[in-house]
Protein backbone atom coordinates (compact mmCIF):
# COMPACT_ATOMS: atom_id res chain seq x y z
CA UNK A 1 0.00 0.00 0.00
CA UNK A 2 1.88 3.02 -1.26
CA UNK A 3 0.63 6.54 -0.69
CA UNK A 4 2.25 9.88 0.07
CA UNK A 5 0.04 11.08 2.91
CA UNK A 6 1.39 14.62 2.90
CA UNK A 7 -0.08 15.08 -0.60
CA UNK A 8 -3.59 14.46 0.68
CA UNK A 9 -5.75 17.43 1.56
CA UNK A 10 -6.77 17.87 5.18
CA UNK A 11 -10.23 16.55 4.42
CA UNK A 12 -9.04 13.62 2.29
CA UNK A 13 -6.67 12.46 5.02
CA UNK A 14 -9.49 12.57 7.54
CA UNK A 15 -11.71 10.59 5.17
CA UNK A 16 -9.06 7.91 4.61
CA UNK A 17 -8.37 7.45 8.30
CA UNK A 18 -12.07 7.30 9.11
CA UNK A 19 -12.61 4.63 6.47
CA UNK A 20 -9.61 2.59 7.61
CA UNK A 21 -10.91 2.65 11.19
CA UNK A 22 -14.46 1.81 10.12
CA UNK A 23 -13.33 -1.07 7.93
CA UNK A 24 -10.98 -2.42 10.59
CA UNK A 25 -13.74 -2.35 13.21
CA UNK A 26 -16.40 -3.90 10.99
CA UNK A 27 -16.05 -7.27 12.73
CA UNK A 28 -14.91 -9.01 9.58
CA UNK A 29 -11.20 -8.99 10.54
CA UNK A 30 -10.58 -10.48 14.02
CA UNK A 31 -6.80 -10.17 13.57
CA UNK A 32 -6.92 -6.37 13.89
CA UNK A 33 -9.62 -6.07 16.54
CA UNK A 34 -8.34 -4.22 19.63
CA UNK A 35 -4.85 -4.03 18.18
CA UNK A 36 -2.72 -1.32 19.88
CA UNK A 37 -1.88 0.32 16.55
CA UNK A 38 -5.57 0.58 15.69
CA UNK A 39 -6.33 2.01 19.14
CA UNK A 40 -3.57 4.59 18.67
CA UNK A 41 -4.93 5.57 15.26
CA UNK A 42 -8.42 6.02 16.70
CA UNK A 43 -7.08 8.26 19.44
CA UNK A 44 -5.12 10.41 17.02
CA UNK A 45 -8.06 10.62 14.64
CA UNK A 46 -10.39 11.78 17.42
CA UNK A 47 -8.09 14.76 18.06
CA UNK A 48 -7.67 15.49 14.38
CA UNK A 49 -11.37 15.18 13.58
CA UNK A 50 -12.29 17.64 16.32
CA UNK A 51 -10.16 20.43 14.88
CA UNK A 52 -9.55 19.96 11.17
CA UNK A 53 -12.68 21.86 10.19
CA UNK A 54 -12.57 24.39 13.02
CA UNK A 55 -12.64 28.07 12.23
CA UNK A 56 -9.55 30.18 12.70
CA UNK A 57 -11.62 33.23 13.63
CA UNK A 58 -14.81 33.66 15.62
CA UNK A 59 -17.01 34.92 12.80
CA UNK A 60 -17.99 37.97 14.85
CA UNK A 61 -16.18 40.39 12.57
CA UNK A 62 -19.32 41.56 10.78
CA UNK A 63 -21.13 42.19 14.07
CA UNK A 64 -18.18 44.23 15.32
CA UNK A 65 -18.06 46.23 12.09
CA UNK A 66 -21.79 46.97 12.36
CA UNK A 67 -21.40 48.08 15.97
CA UNK A 68 -18.53 50.33 14.92
CA UNK A 69 -20.67 51.96 12.21
CA UNK A 70 -23.44 52.51 14.76
CA UNK A 71 -21.14 54.28 17.20
CA UNK A 72 -19.60 56.30 14.35
CA UNK A 73 -23.07 57.49 13.37
CA UNK A 74 -24.00 58.45 16.93
CA UNK A 75 -20.69 60.28 17.31
CA UNK A 76 -20.87 62.18 14.02
CA UNK A 77 -24.52 63.12 14.58
CA UNK A 78 -23.80 64.69 17.94
CA UNK A 79 -20.61 66.36 16.73
CA UNK A 80 -22.37 67.66 13.62
CA UNK A 81 -25.24 69.12 15.62
CA UNK A 82 -22.87 70.98 17.93
CA UNK A 83 -20.82 72.25 15.00
CA UNK A 84 -23.92 73.67 13.32
CA UNK A 85 -25.53 75.02 16.49
CA UNK A 86 -22.42 76.92 17.63
CA UNK A 87 -22.44 78.89 14.37
CA UNK A 88 -25.97 80.19 14.93
CA UNK A 89 -24.99 83.21 16.98
CA UNK A 90 -28.55 84.41 17.34
CA UNK A 91 -29.57 81.35 19.35
CA UNK A 92 -29.57 81.65 23.10
CA UNK A 93 -27.33 78.69 23.89
CA UNK A 94 -24.91 78.81 20.99
CA UNK A 95 -22.03 79.37 23.42
CA UNK A 96 -22.82 76.09 25.18
CA UNK A 97 -22.62 74.32 21.85
CA UNK A 98 -19.29 75.99 21.19
CA UNK A 99 -17.90 74.84 24.53
CA UNK A 100 -19.03 71.26 24.00
CA UNK A 101 -17.71 71.25 20.45
CA UNK A 102 -14.29 72.28 21.75
CA UNK A 103 -14.32 69.18 23.94
CA UNK A 104 -14.95 67.06 20.83
CA UNK A 105 -12.10 68.92 19.15
CA UNK A 106 -9.83 68.25 22.11
CA UNK A 107 -10.13 64.51 21.65
CA UNK A 108 -10.18 64.55 17.86
CA UNK A 109 -12.77 65.40 15.25
CA UNK A 110 -12.00 62.30 13.18
CA UNK A 111 -12.51 59.52 15.71
CA UNK A 112 -14.79 57.72 13.29
CA UNK A 113 -11.83 57.25 10.92
CA UNK A 114 -9.45 55.83 13.54
CA UNK A 115 -8.66 52.18 14.14
CA UNK A 116 -10.95 50.27 16.48
CA UNK A 117 -8.54 50.46 19.42
CA UNK A 118 -7.57 54.11 18.94
CA UNK A 119 -11.18 55.19 18.53
CA UNK A 120 -12.25 53.26 21.60
CA UNK A 121 -9.55 54.87 23.75
CA UNK A 122 -10.44 58.39 22.59
CA UNK A 123 -14.19 57.83 22.82
CA UNK A 124 -13.84 56.72 26.43
CA UNK A 125 -11.92 59.89 27.26
CA UNK A 126 -14.45 62.04 25.39
CA UNK A 127 -17.37 60.46 27.22
CA UNK A 128 -15.66 60.83 30.58
CA UNK A 129 -15.19 64.56 29.94
CA UNK A 130 -18.76 65.03 28.74
CA UNK A 131 -20.07 63.25 31.83
CA UNK A 132 -18.64 65.90 34.16
CA UNK A 133 -21.50 67.75 35.89
CA UNK A 134 -20.82 71.08 34.21
CA UNK A 135 -20.93 69.45 30.79
CA UNK A 136 -23.97 67.27 31.40
CA UNK A 137 -25.77 70.46 32.38
CA UNK A 138 -24.86 72.02 29.03
CA UNK A 139 -26.00 68.88 27.23
CA UNK A 140 -29.31 69.03 29.05
CA UNK A 141 -29.80 72.72 28.23
CA UNK A 142 -29.28 71.90 24.55
CA UNK A 143 -31.78 69.03 24.77
CA UNK A 144 -29.06 66.55 23.77
CA UNK A 145 -29.35 64.14 26.69
CA UNK A 146 -30.83 61.37 24.54
CA UNK A 147 -28.29 61.90 21.78
CA UNK A 148 -25.45 61.70 24.27
CA UNK A 149 -26.94 58.57 25.84
CA UNK A 150 -27.17 57.04 22.37
CA UNK A 151 -23.47 57.68 21.75
CA UNK A 152 -22.53 56.16 25.10
CA UNK A 153 -24.70 53.10 24.52
CA UNK A 154 -23.27 52.54 21.04
CA UNK A 155 -19.76 52.81 22.45
CA UNK A 156 -20.57 50.29 25.18
CA UNK A 157 -22.15 47.92 22.67
CA UNK A 158 -19.03 48.07 20.53
CA UNK A 159 -16.71 47.41 23.46
CA UNK A 160 -18.78 44.40 24.51
CA UNK A 161 -18.78 42.85 21.05
CA UNK A 162 -15.11 43.61 20.46
CA UNK A 163 -14.18 41.94 23.74
CA UNK A 164 -16.27 38.90 22.83
CA UNK A 165 -14.59 38.69 19.44
CA UNK A 166 -11.11 39.00 20.91
CA UNK A 167 -11.83 36.34 23.50
CA UNK A 168 -13.35 33.94 20.98
CA UNK A 169 -10.44 34.40 18.57
CA UNK A 170 -7.94 33.81 21.36
CA UNK A 171 -9.72 30.60 22.37
CA UNK A 172 -9.65 29.33 18.79
CA UNK A 173 -5.97 30.07 18.38
CA UNK A 174 -5.02 28.22 21.55
CA UNK A 175 -6.80 25.07 20.45
CA UNK A 176 -4.72 22.37 18.84
CA UNK A 177 -4.68 22.79 15.09
CA UNK A 178 -5.05 20.11 12.45
CA UNK A 179 -1.62 21.03 11.12
CA UNK A 180 -0.10 20.56 14.54
CA UNK A 181 -1.36 16.99 14.99
CA UNK A 182 -1.36 15.90 11.34
CA UNK A 183 2.17 14.49 11.46
CA UNK A 184 1.31 12.28 14.40
CA UNK A 185 -1.83 11.07 12.65
CA UNK A 186 0.14 10.28 9.49
CA UNK A 187 2.74 8.42 11.55
CA UNK A 188 0.03 6.37 13.26
CA UNK A 189 -1.68 5.52 9.98
CA UNK A 190 1.63 4.54 8.35
CA UNK A 191 2.39 2.21 11.27
CA UNK A 192 -0.94 0.43 10.95
CA UNK A 193 -0.80 0.15 7.16
CA UNK A 194 2.82 -0.99 7.41
CA UNK A 195 1.84 -3.81 9.73
CA UNK A 196 -1.00 -4.92 7.48
CA UNK A 197 1.24 -4.78 4.41
CA UNK A 198 3.90 -6.87 6.15
CA UNK A 199 1.28 -9.48 7.02
CA UNK A 200 -0.52 -9.48 3.65
CA UNK A 201 0.58 -13.01 2.75
CA UNK A 202 -0.66 -14.49 6.01
CA UNK A 203 -4.05 -16.12 5.56
CA UNK A 204 -5.98 -14.21 8.24
CA UNK A 205 -4.63 -10.87 6.99
CA UNK A 206 -5.11 -11.22 3.23
CA UNK A 207 -8.67 -9.94 3.02
CA UNK A 208 -7.97 -7.01 5.35
CA UNK A 209 -4.99 -6.01 3.23
CA UNK A 210 -6.99 -6.24 0.00
CA UNK A 211 -9.85 -4.13 1.33
CA UNK A 212 -7.65 -1.45 2.89
CA UNK A 213 -5.52 -1.34 -0.24
CA UNK A 214 -8.61 -0.30 -2.19
CA UNK A 215 -9.23 2.50 0.28
CA UNK A 216 -5.65 3.69 -0.07
CA UNK A 217 -5.85 3.66 -3.88
CA UNK A 218 -9.08 5.68 -3.74
CA UNK A 219 -7.44 8.23 -1.46
CA UNK A 220 -4.34 8.39 -3.65
CA UNK A 221 -6.51 9.19 -6.67
CA UNK A 222 -8.73 11.66 -4.84
CA UNK A 223 -6.90 14.76 -6.10
CA UNK A 224 -6.61 13.62 -9.72
CA UNK A 225 -8.85 14.76 -12.58
CA UNK A 226 -11.60 12.24 -13.27
CA UNK A 227 -10.11 11.28 -16.61
CA UNK A 228 -6.78 10.29 -15.04
CA UNK A 229 -8.06 8.01 -12.33
CA UNK A 230 -8.52 5.06 -14.64
CA UNK A 231 -4.85 5.21 -15.67
CA UNK A 232 -3.52 4.36 -12.20
CA UNK A 233 -1.62 1.09 -11.90
CA UNK A 234 -3.12 -1.41 -9.42
CA UNK A 235 -1.06 -2.47 -6.44
- Euclidean distance between CA atoms 193 and 38, whole angstroms: 10
Give every CB contact of residue 48 below 8 A, 6+ residues apart in sequence: 13, 14, 17, 178, 181, 182, 185
What average pLDDT score do residues 154-183 get?
A: 74
Could you give the angle at which helices 145-174 and 116-130 cross, rounded to 10 degrees?
150
Q: What is the pLDDT of residue 170?
A: 59
Give every CB contact of residue 131 below 8 A, 6+ residues apart in sequence: none
Query: For residues 107 and 122, is the Cβ–Cβ distance under 8 A?
Result: yes
Q: Nearest CA to 233 among 206, 205, 213, 203? A: 213
- Euclidean distance between CA atoms 52 and 64, whole angstroms: 26
Q: Nearest CA to 100 among 157, 145, 153, 43? A: 145
The one-character DSSP state at 81 is H
Q: What is the pLDDT of residue 176?
A: 58
**Environment class of residue 60 by beta-carbon count within 10 Å: exposed (0-12), middle (13-18) or buried (19+)?**
middle
User: Over 60: is that where the pLDDT of 54 sits?
Assistant: no
What average pLDDT score do residues 201-217 get?
A: 90
Query: For residues 133 and 108, is the Cβ–Cβ distance under 8 A?
Result: no
The one-character DSSP state at 142 is T
| Res. 46 pLDDT band, cuts 50 70 90 | confident
User: Over 50: is that where the pLDDT of 227 sits?
Assistant: no
What pTM, to 2 d.p., does this model score? 0.51
User: Over 50: is that where the pLDDT of 10 sits?
Assistant: yes
What average pLDDT score do residues 219-234 get?
A: 48
Q: What is the pLDDT of residue 165?
A: 76
By residue count, the chain amounts to 235
Amino acid sequence: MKITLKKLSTKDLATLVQRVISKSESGIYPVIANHPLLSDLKEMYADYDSVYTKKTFSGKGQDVATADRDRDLAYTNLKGFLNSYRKLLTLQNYQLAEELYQIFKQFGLNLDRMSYSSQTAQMKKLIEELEKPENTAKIKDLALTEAFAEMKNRQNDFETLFAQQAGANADLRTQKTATGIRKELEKSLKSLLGLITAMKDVEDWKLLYADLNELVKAARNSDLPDGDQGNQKPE
